[in-house]
Amino acid sequence: MKKLNELQSRIGYDFNDIELLKTALTHTSYANEHKRRMIKHNERLEFLGDSVLSLIITTYLFKNLSSITEGELSRIRSTIVCENSLKMSGDQFDLSHYIYMGRGEEQTGGRNRSSIVSDAMEALIASIYLDSGYESAERFVLSQMKDIIDKAIEGKLFKDYKTQYQEMIQKKSNSKIEYVVISEEGPDHQKTFTVGLMLNDRNVSTGEGRSKKAAEQKAAEIALEKINEH
């Protein structure tokens, strides 16, 4: 309980239902190692948090950047809601320190894994949303991610590989880009995803990662390398 209170103090939000916070911080590996205790993990909250975060950022950009085109708004948003940005945001209050994680995951460096921290960040956003509504979640996001949002608007934040690839392709043509999951291997707490990058229904590269997002980024990175080689 002490760690939970400490985290609440660091993020400036006190939960009405502390169980929501516990669930947001529980990685699947921890739940799997304690199956008899029927512990909930954070994957469902992550799913919700992804949408809540996207709505918050989309609304903020729409209201504050009235002269920016739809395409540019999408580009800015994608740099804010990506895995790296969420990891950076979580690192500001040492989120990884508070995640409940299985021993196996811990021993393989899971506590510093970007996908795990970014997923926990999305789950945390969802838990605040469920605990006291959209406005509370919005205050949390806009407060914790202010520097990231400002840098993205100024164009000073990194561009993720997917965004870079999309921009490069769209300069030359109006081609259809799609990411398709080819396979999922391994136990729930240590899955490896293989994703194919499809350009006009043709596979141009494949990438692997511990999450779908990471695999997509890897596929885009490889596709960019192929373009730069020519």
The one-digit pLDDT tens for each residue of the chain (230 residues) are: 788 999 999 999 999 999 999 999 999 988 887 777 778 899 999 999 999 999 999 999 999 998 888 888 888 898 899 888 999 999 999 999 999 988 888 788 878 888 899 999 999 999 999 999 999 999 999 999 999 999 888 876 666 788 888 888 887 778 899 999 999 998 876 788 999 999 999 999 999 988 888 899 889 989 988 876 65
Whether residue 50 lies in the annotated active site: yes
DSSP letters spanning 35-86: GGGT---SHHHHHHHHHHHHHHHHHHHHHH-TTS-HHHHHHHHHHHSSHHHH
Residue ranges per domain, the chain?
2-158, 162-229
Query: What's the pTM value of the predicted model, to 2 decimals?
Result: 0.71
- Among the listed residues 119, 122, 131, 221, the single catalytic one is 122
CA angle 83, 19, 12 (to 5 degrees): 60
- Among the listed residues 50, 83, 119, 131, the single catalytic one is 50
pLDDT digit string, tens, across residues 95-153: 999 999 888 887 888 788 888 999 999 999 999 999 999 999 999 999 999 999 998 88
Fold held by 2-158: Ribonuclease iii, N-terminal Endonuclease Domain; Chain A (1.10.1520)
Fold held by 162-229: Double Stranded RNA Binding Domain (3.30.160)
Whether 2-158 and 162-229 share one fold: the answer is: no
